[in-house]
Amino acid sequence: MRGSRRVLSAFLAVVLSSSACDPAASDPAARPSADPYHILVTNDDGIESPGIQRLAEALRAVGEVTVVAPCGQRSGSSMSVRLDLPIGLRPYEVEGEVWGHCVDTTPAGSVILATQALAPPDGFDLVVSGINAGANTGDLARMSGTVGAAMAGAYYGIPAIAASLGGRSMDFGYPSAVVARFVEQLRTRPSRPGTVFSINFPAASEDQVAGIAAAGMGGSYLRLGYQEVEPEDGVRVFEPRISLEDTFPPGSDSEAFMQGMITVTALRFDATDHDALQDLSSWDLDELLTGR
């Protein structure tokens, strides 16, 4: 709906920190300069995915785009990297012109390699991962290769975005335009290295979206597992099993997503459980050293 754009602008003023509350937001250094804005675009569906292609084209209107993605499907790889073999970096051509590069590795590995092999002299200003075919709200974000690639950017101190599209239609035009507008506003704000903004779209078109909401990560609209099937040659065999959930934590991104809202969640690379860490101070940890 058209009103969602106004909601988006108002929401961004809060989630990216208000200039009325944050002196840095009014700092000229936080505003776009004449220098190019370098964006690294990646995904976990592979470089041939229409999601990454539409996203990259939309972002070219915002900054200078470098595309580096896995050569094939790598969904569910989270932040895993390959350390057992050398990896190849291959030019990927569209209509006879080099459009990007594909890598024989994971999404996170693609980001790591890109920061070392294809980054501009001052490095990338932003990593954008997606647009994934399938939403990554709630706990699914921990297993997502899309979010994992963005987290790899955060690992290197680069602000990052992960974008994912749910629903039946995989038309990435509208989600790509929303992400580009998000980047335009993000660029005017103080840098947030170590933060990943995870954006999830419940549908592919504006008229099917109920609005946009800032929400914390919680629950999941899917439950992943395995189901045993007929054994083969004496070996037990299990196939992936995906089931839909019907209850969600109040106020969570999963709840808002299932209500038809675009959700934006701010995730941190630091996953420390500070309450549990504080509790550890009451343990007798020295006893572990000697067993006495």
Predicted pLDDT of residue 221: 76
Backbone φ and ψ of 246, nearest 5°: -125, 0
Average pLDDT, the chain: 85
CATH number, domain of 126, equals 3.40.1210.10
- The mean-pLDDT minimum among 60-64, 246-250, 262-266 falls in 246-250
Find out whether 108 and 152 touch, Cβ atoms under 8 Å.
yes
Q: Is residue 49 part of a domain?
A: yes
- Exposed, middle or buried, 89 (CB in 10 Å: 0-12/13-18/19+)? middle
Confidence of residue 194 (pLDDT cuts 50, 70, 90): confident
Q: Is residue 232 part of a domain?
A: no
Mean pLDDT for the stretch of residues 208-217: 93
Which tens digit of pLDDT belongs to each residue from 148-166? 999 999 999 999 999 999 9
Confidence of residue 22 (pLDDT cuts 50, 70, 90): very low
Percent of the chain topping pLDDT 70: 88
Q: Is residue 239 part of a domain?
A: no
Q: Is residue 54 part of a domain?
A: yes
Q: Is residue 257 part of a domain?
A: yes
Predicted pLDDT of residue 64: 96
pLDDT beyond 60 at 197:
yes
Rg (CA), the chain: 20
Find out whether 62 and 39 touch, Cβ atoms under 8 Å.
yes
Q: Is residue 33 part of a domain?
A: yes
Q: Is residue 235 part of a domain?
A: no
Q: Count of domains in the chain?
A: 1
Domain hosting residue 66, numbered range: 3-219+248-290
Q: Is residue 19 part of a domain?
A: yes
Three-class DSSP category at 106: coil
Type and span of the H or E element at 129: strand 126-133
- pTM over the 0.85 mark: no
Residues 34, 122: Cα–Cα separation, whole Å: 14
Q: Angle formed by the axes of helices 145-155 and 107-117, to 10°? A: 30
Which tens digit of pLDDT belongs to each residue from 86-143? 989 999 988 888 899 999 999 999 999 999 999 999 999 999 998 999 999 988 888 8
